[in-house]
Amino acid sequence: MQGGQVPPSMNHGGHELFDVKEILSATVGALNQAMILRPHVQDPELLDILDRQYRFTLDEYNILVESFKTGKDPSHPTQRYQMKAGSDFIYGMKEKAPSKPIQSTGEISDEIISGFLLGATKEGATGKTAASLEVCNPVVRRVLADSVPNCIEMAYELSIYQNKHQYYQVPQLNDQDMNMLLNSFAPSQGQPGMPNNLQ
């Protein structure tokens, strides 16, 4: 069949079908795990983040399912995720106990929950980026691609939350090393010396 003769609902390549199935399965898993962990959240700020990100991710999941099944524009476009927190990081490392697997559900903490949520959003950004590069259907590709910045924003919100509570520490180089790296590239000046006739 030629591309123009394929109905929108069948306008999918093999790689696309498998990759989008993996994205949808991972999203269902992340949503289910967030729901399972929700009763264990202690911090109201983390609960607010979990609930907002859950609702937003569920809507994106429904949009992707709809466009994947129909091959057409979904009933509403992908929205833009807005985090509440500022973007101030605390730099530096402080001594803390080493991480290790928990031995019972009684050990589930806000650090563990926010770490899981952060990992799931990072996985979502990576998976959706890779899948969008394999998609033939232009609508599904756009839905996946539009979702990637939202995953990045959600991960950023969670990393700021974790950083504030010293769950996610950010080391920083000394001033001399940082300046050396910051100044290790310069903008290109003038016009590129391209050949005039490329025949």
Predicted local confidence at residue 180, as pLDDT: 93
**pLDDT value at residue 139:** 93
Backbone angles phi, psi at 181, to 5 degrees: -70, -40
CB 14 within 8 A of CB 131: no
Structural domain contains residue 162: yes
Q: Could you give the maximum distance between any two Cα atoms of the chain, in Å?
A: 72
The pLDDT of residue 7 is 72
Residue 3 lies in a domain: no
Return the HEC string of 104-141: CHHHCCHHHHHHHHHHHHHHHHHHHHHHHCCCCCHHHH
- State the chain's mean pLDDT as an integer: 91
Rounded Cα distance between 57 and 20, Å, is 15
Count: domains in the chain: 1
Average pLDDT on 88-114 reads: 92
Mean pLDDT along residues 120-130: 96
pTM above 0.85, yes or no: yes
Residue 12 buriedness (CB in 10 A; 0-12 / 13-18 / 19+)? middle
CB neighbours of 170 closer than 8 A, spacing ≥ 6?
A: 89, 90, 91, 92, 163
Q: Residue 146 falls within a domain, yes or no?
A: yes
Asked if the model's pLDDT at residue 142 lies above 70, the reply is yes
Q: Which domain holds residue 82?
A: 8-89+109-180
User: Does 191 score more than 80 pLDDT?
Assistant: no
With a cut of 90, say whether residue 151 has pLDDT above it: yes
Looking at residue 159, what DSSP letter applies?
A: H
Asked, for residue 32, whether it belongs to a domain, the answer is: yes
Q: Write down the pLDDT at residue 43.
A: 97
Summarised one tens digit per residue, pLDDT across range 49-77 is 999 999 999 999 999 999 999 989 999 99
CATH number for the domain that contains residue 136 = 1.20.1260
Q: Does residue 59 fall inside a structural domain?
A: yes
Is residue 197 situated within a structural domain?
Answer: no
Structure confidence at residue 85 (pLDDT): 74
